[in-house]
Amino acid sequence: MSFLELLLIGVGLSMDAFAVAVCQGLSMTRLNWRRAGVIALFFGGFQAVMPLLGWGLGSRFAVYIQELDHWVAFVLLGLIGGNMVREALGPEKETGCACGELDLRQLFLMAVATSIDALAVGITFAFLEVAILPAVSVIGVTTFCLSLAGVAVGNFFGARYKRRAELSGGVILILLGVKILLEHLGVF
């Protein structure tokens, strides 16, 4: 598989992570590059590890993974997005930190939810006998870069419209989960 093909796969796989990273940036009152780097590392790392796991599993479990991945992503994104909507519509909370706390558990769940499709891609890589280390490296680095950019883009808009941005971010996550579910159910 060529570098361009791997890059295109990496960009395609990273779009969900990019959207979630934008939502993370929306919640920051000012851009914190360290926090953005942690977010990008989570998304890039999971986007690299999941195809590696999928490649390791091979075709043996493909049917089971493809039948469940959309439900897992739908539930995780729906719960996270619903929580964001609830917080946006609830009373304004005062926090001591200008950028909010980084919830690693929530970040972990979002990284898993956005990288489940990459697991199935890894299984496909096993079928195609793709050199896995270059493939997961390109996917991981691409997702890292796009996630970092996503946090910055989200922050640019979120600092000006925090409450609306948090509400929008939650709705986006819910819709992203619904989109993943409907695509895998064959509606789209």
Total residues belonging to the chain:
188
Average pLDDT over all residues of the chain? 82
Angle at 82 between CA 76 and CA 86, to 5 degrees: 150
Q: Give the lowest-confidence range in 21-25, 33-37, 89-93, 158-162.
A: 158-162
pLDDT of 166 > 80? The answer is no
pLDDT of 164 > 90? The answer is no
More confident residue, 123 or 35: 35
Distance CA 61, CA 168 (A): 36
> Is-contact 139 8, C-beta < 8 A?
no
pLDDT value for 152: 93
pLDDT value for 36: 94
Q: Using 50, 70 and 90 to split pLDDT, how confident is the model at 149?
A: very high
**Is pTM beyond 0.75 here?**
no
Cα dihedral: 155, 157, 159, 160 (round 10): 170
